A and B are shown apart, each in its own frame.
Chain A
Amino acid sequence: MSEKDLMTRRIKPITTAAVIFFLVSAVAPLFVASWATLFALILAKGIVVLGIVLLLQAGQVSFGHAMFFAIGAYTSAFWGKYVGGGDILLYLVLGGISSTVFGLIVGLFVVRYREIFFGMLNLAFSMVLWSLLEKMFPYTNGADGIRVARPGLLGFVFTPETFQYVILYVSLLIAAAAFYGVQRYLESPLGHMLRAIKSNETRLEYLGMSARRVLLIGYVISAFLGGIGGTLVAIIQQIATPEFGFWTKSGEFVFIAILGGGAHAFGAFAGAAMFECVRFYAAAHLADSWQLILGVVLIVIILYAPNGLIGLRQRYRQSGKGGR
């Protein structure tokens, strides 16, 4: 069986798993209220990690993607602080626009570089942003961050109990749309060209395409997703702090992408679910050393499922064949 057949047979079950995941995200919190915020966070972070997965197609890893996450979050925070009021949809539109514009500006520089230089340049930009957020205390409240007041939705206001479900379902709708859109993008000519950058950029240029432009489009989409995810997390947690743009946050997104696997858009959500669940329960039982548990999980994944959680099924199938 060719590699292509294997890929096709792998992708269909993954799409089914994605549908099941979104259904569980919609239904499970109705039975356990505390899961509403947990699932909303998983979905919001999954959207950000989708952007990382997109760049992984081109073989590029951004160690500074949290800057777009922070921009989305701070756009809502600034609006609330300086304009007042607000609406979830307004925050999402503003967060999406600001991160896209910022992504385009940063992207024009970083797409000229590849591999470690691409990763480090992203890190450098994110650290500049983090420093500005930390040091411009009169505007940003420094390390304390800015509170994000609970916004309404289309003119409706909600109690905290209801709001956790509202933001969950908004996150779910956006996550499902982002998942579908990214998967369609990856299957489109541009998505294939993005993958072509990883395997043979020279040939792409000799086919008449600008590899930089192809990567820039992917990068800007990735920044947009980062901004949307950041806006959602700021609304869910009702705060935006400089930590949102710190390098450890970027590392967390890369960690989640590796955990989930980069071969399919669902890897972002599988990784986010695993990450947040481990953190949620490990932090409850091992308050000071939950990172240890996460580290062990990542080591196990790298050793036994180098293609991430979504690569597990293929590995299982192959080991089954080998055993016969």
Chain B
Amino acid sequence: MADVLLSARDIKIRFGGVIAADGINLDVHEGENLAIIGPNGAGKTTFLNISTGYLRPQAGTVTFLGQDITAHLPRTITKLGIARAFQIPQLFLDQTVMENMLIAAASRQGYPSGFKALARLPEASEMERLLELVGVRSYAERTARELPEGQRKLVDIALALALKPRLLLMDEPTSGVASSEKLEIMDILTTALAKEKVTSVFVEHDMDMVERYAHRVAVWNVGKIQKIGTPAEVLADPKVQQQVIGI
């Protein structure tokens, strides 16, 4: 078994009467693509929010490479090697795609100093390579605002990859994208992740995507992990089919 990158132990959090996590234990292993599935409101995104420091659990701990990150700020966690891509792409809309990438590169280097123009940073060629890798190199000089949704998603992921993370957490990477583009986006995405040697956790509703691209699947239901295993094992489970997939 590969090394454990991220480990959640006995995570509990509730929002009023809604239980988002009720004693969750979950390990993410290096090199895998772990999909999290479950009904709306089950607590899938909450797990990503906890793992990236946006929320603190009411109980339990999250460790990354053995280090407790439960109380860390998002930017501290980012620096440790966890990047995030969002359900609604989070880009700097008034700046070009390349400027977005270079801001990420500069952030990774910890630049707050220097009056060197952003466009002349030595990381520019590396950022071009990443844009090429996710298939949006031709949009580099366009402002992010001009991009269609599918391309925004890919740029959002490229931004995360610019941080050279060990682990990438993605919230519904194909939501809001036309069905015809979903496979293409996931193909690009998983190829890029493999090439950059990045482990991933992705929340997904499309079972076809889960079956094709996940190594393991965790079923999240009413704040608990109902089942975890390979896509074939999990998706064949009658309870999962009935309660989560709705067959």
Contacts and interface: CB of A to CB of B under 8 A. Distances in A.
B224 to A, nearest CB: 28
A199 B75 contact: no
Contacts of A209: 75, 107, 112
Contacts, number: 107
Interface stretch (B62-70, B89-97, B175-183, B192-200): B89-97
A189 B74 contact: no
B117 A187 contact: yes
Contact of B163 (A185, A200, A208, A210): A208
Nearest to B110: A208
A242 B75 CA distance: 42
Interface stretch (A126-134, A141-149, A190-198, A292-300): A190-198
A127 B96 CA distance: 40
Interface in B89-117: 90-96, 99, 102-104, 106-108, 110-117
A135 interface: no
Interface in A69-124: none
A236 B108 CA distance: 46
A142 to B, nearest CB: 42
A213 B118 contact: no
Nearest to B120: A187
Nearest to A188: B115
A204 B111 CA distance: 13
A203 B155 CA distance: 13
B92 A217 contact: no
Nearest to A202: B90
A195 B104 contact: no
Interface residues of B, number: 40
A207 interface: yes
A308 B111 CA distance: 32
Given A4-B142, A203-B159, A209-B107, A189 B95 contact: no
A3 B139 CA distance: 12
B221 interface: no
Contact of A208 (B75, B119, B141, B146): B75
Contact of A207 (B113, B145, B163): B163
A129 B117 CA distance: 37
Residue in B52, B75, B78, B121 with the greatest tally of chain A CB atoms within 10 Å: B75
Given A4-B142, A198-B94, A192 B99 contact: yes
15 contacts: A3-B142, A4-B96, A4-B141, A188-B114, A189-B114, A190-B114, A192-B102, A196-B103, A198-B94, A203-B90, A207-B78, A207-B107, A207-B163, A208-B110, A208-B163
